[in-house]
Amino acid sequence: MLLMSLLTLFISTLIMILASLLAKKTISDREKNSPYECGFDPKGSSRLPFSLRFFLIAVIFLIFDVEITLLLPIASVMNLSNPFPWLLTIFFFLIMLLVGLYYEWYQGALEWSK
């Protein structure tokens, strides 16, 4: 088992080294590395700033979206076994999320305009 693991590690490392050596582009062109604007140099920055508040709201939405995907399968599992441990797990999970949401609200992260 150890021999097979070492052999797999050696082969994968060898393939990664060969791929990095063969895939290197030696010619670096300034126009190819610049953002595309019909062949002209950009007048301003190519990166647009984004709202940090919007990012925070998006992360909070993602957390609650993942929470729903974790809680939905529990409803079907509860019928197959003892529901008390599952209810305790759901309760603890929801309490943790609500405490986190309250903390974000308290810190003012959910206020869109300031």
The answer to whether residue 12 is domain-embedded is no
Quote the number of domains for the chain. 1
Per-residue pLDDT tens digits for 20-54? 888 766 566 666 666 665 655 556 665 667 777 78
Please report whether residue 102 resides in a domain.
yes
Q: Is residue 14 part of a domain?
A: no
Residue 7, pLDDT > 90, answer yes
pTM of the model: 0.48
CA 7/CA 25 separation, integer angstroms = 30
Question: Is the residue at 78 inside a domain?
Answer: yes
Instruction: For residues 83-89, give the mean pLDDT.
Output: 86
Domain assignment present for residue 5? The answer is no
Domain span at 65 = 52-107
Residue 112 neighbours by CB under 8 Å, 6+ apart? 53, 57
